[in-house]
Structure 1
Amino acid sequence: GLTELVSRVLGFEERDRRVVQFCGSKKSLATGLPMAAVLFAGQPVGLLVLPLMLFHQIQLIVCAWLAGRYARAGTGAGGRD
Structure 2
Amino acid sequence: MSFRAPLTKHHADGSDCPADHKHTRSGKPLHPDCPGREFTQAICSCGDWEMRHSGKGYVNECRKRRLAQHRPASVSASPVLRDVPPFNMR
Q: TM-score, normalised by structure 2?
A: 0.28
Bigger relative contact order, structure 1 or 2, given CA contacts below 8 A and separation 6+? 1
Q: TM-score, normalised by structure 1?
A: 0.31
Between Structure 1 and Structure 2, whose CA radius of gyration is higher?
2
**Structure with higher helix content:** 1
**Structure with higher strand content:** 2
